[in-house]
C-alpha cells in the first residue's frame, strides 16, 4: 500500500510538514486527526490525550477510517489471498522492530524465528548499502516498557496476532541527523536498500512455506 494516510500526507505538503495523524473529524470541531497506528483492535487503549494531540488514538478501536477500511479489505479477501507476511514502513531510526509494541512482558509466539528474519533483513540492508539497521522489540522503541499506552493499538501487533505469521516494522533512514526531514537525494539509496530487504523477506517466507 503506497500511502496509508492519504489526506494526512497531502496535508504535510500544503500545511504542516511534520503532521502525523489523518485529517478525520473528532469530537472537537477545532481538532482534526487520529493517529492511525494507535487505532487497531489489539490492546487498544482509549486515548487520554486531547484530540488536538498528535498522539490522539480516538475513542475506540478502528475509529480511524483508514484502519477500518484496511481491516475490512483483509477480512473480505482472506480466503482468496491469505497473508503470510507484513512489513510496516515508518521513519525514522534505521531499525527493524518485531512484536510486540504494547508490552515488553509478553514474548511473541516464535521470537527466535522472528529474530532470525529480523537480523536477516538488517544484514540484507548492510550488504546493499553499508547502513546499519538495529534490531529490537517494538515495545522498546515505542517506550511501552515505560508507558504502556505508547505501544497500544499498533498495526504491527494487530497484524501479527490476527493476520500474518511474520510481521515487522522497518524504520527507514536516518538515525537522527535529518530525522523526519530526510533530503531528497537519499530517496533512491533508501529505496534500493529497502527493496533488498523486502526481497530477502519474500525469499525467506517462501522458503519457510
Residue 94 sits in a domain of what CATH number? 3.40.630.10
Number of domains in the chain: 2
Choose the final residue of a domain: 48, 82, 116.
Answer: 82
- The 3-state secondary structure of the chain reads CCCCCHHHHHHHHHCCCCCCCCCCECCCCCCECCCHHHCCCCCCCCCCCCCCCCCCCCCCCCCCHHHHHHHHHHHHHCCCCCCCEEEEEEECCCEEEECCCCCCCCCCCCHHHHHHHHHHHHHHHHHHHCCCCEEEEHHHHHCCCCCHHHHCCCHHHHHHHHCCCEEEEEEECCCCCCCCCCCHHHHHHHHHHHHHHHHHHHHHHHHHC
Q: What is the pLDDT of residues 83-141, one digit of tens each?
A: 899 999 999 999 999 999 999 899 999 999 999 999 999 999 999 999 999 999 999 98
Same domain, 75 and 113: no
Q: Spell out the residues 6+ positions from residue 148 whose beta carbon is closer than 8 angstroms to its own.
A: 45, 102, 103
Same domain, 90 and 170: yes
Choose the final residue of a domain: 56, 82, 108.
Answer: 82
What's the average model confidence in pLDDT over 143-154? Answer: 70
Same domain, 110 and 59: no
Same domain, 64 and 150: no
- pTM (2 d.p.): 0.93
What's the average model confidence in pLDDT over 129-156? Answer: 83
Choose the final residue of a domain: 30, 54, 82.
Answer: 82
What strands lie across the sheet with 134-137, from one edge to the other?
Answer: 85-91, 166-172, 95-98, 134-137
Same domain, 78 and 167: no
- Which pLDDT belongs to residue 141? 86
Same domain, 137 and 50: no
Same domain, 152 and 166: yes
Same domain, 8 and 23: yes
- Cα dihedral 60, 65, 69, 70 sign: negative
Same domain, 69 and 155: no
90 φ, ψ to 5°? -130, 175
Q: State the pLDDT confidence band at 147, using cuts at 50, 70 and 90.
A: low
Same domain, 107 and 175: yes
Same domain, 31 and 129: no
Same domain, 65 and 129: no
- Which pLDDT belongs to residue 124? 98
**Residue 156: which domain range?**
84-209
Amino acid at each position: 500500500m503506497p500511502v496509508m494516510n492519504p489526506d494526512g500526507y497531502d496535508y504535510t505538503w500544503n500545511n504542516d510538514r511534520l503532521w502525523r495523524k489523518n485529517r478525520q473529524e473528532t469530537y472537537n470541531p477545532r481538532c482534526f486527526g487520529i493517529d492511525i497506528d494507535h487505532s487497531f483492535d489489539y490492546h487498544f487503549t482509549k486515548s487520554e490525550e486531547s484530540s488536538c494531540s498528535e498522539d490522539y488514538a480516538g475513542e475506540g478501536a478502528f475509529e480511524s477510517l483508514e484502519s477500518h477500511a484496511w481491516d475490512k479489505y483483509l477480512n473480505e479477501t482472506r480466503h482468496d489471498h491469505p497473508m503470510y507476511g507484513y512489513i510496516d514502513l515508518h521513519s525514522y531510526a534505521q531499525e527493524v522492530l518485531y512484536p510486540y509494541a504494547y508490552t515488553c512482558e509478553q514474548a511473541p509466539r516464535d521470537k527466535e524465528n522472528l529474530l532470525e528474519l529480523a537480523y536477516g533483513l538488517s544484514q540484507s540492508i548492510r550488504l546493499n548499502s553499508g547502513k546499519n539497521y538495529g534490531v529490537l522489540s517494538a515495545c522498546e522503541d515505542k517506550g511501552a516498557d515505560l508507558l504502556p499506552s505508547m505501544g497500544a493499538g499498533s498495526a504491527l501487533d494487530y497484524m501479527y496476532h490476527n493476520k500474518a505469521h511474520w510481521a515487522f516494522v522497518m524504520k527507514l533512514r536516518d538515525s537522527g541527523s535529518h530525522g523526519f526531514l530526510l533530503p531528497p537525494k537519499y530517496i533512491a539509496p533508501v529505496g534500493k536498500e529497502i527493496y533488498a530487504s523486502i526481497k530477502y523477506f519474500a525469499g525467506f517466507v517462501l522458503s519457510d512455506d
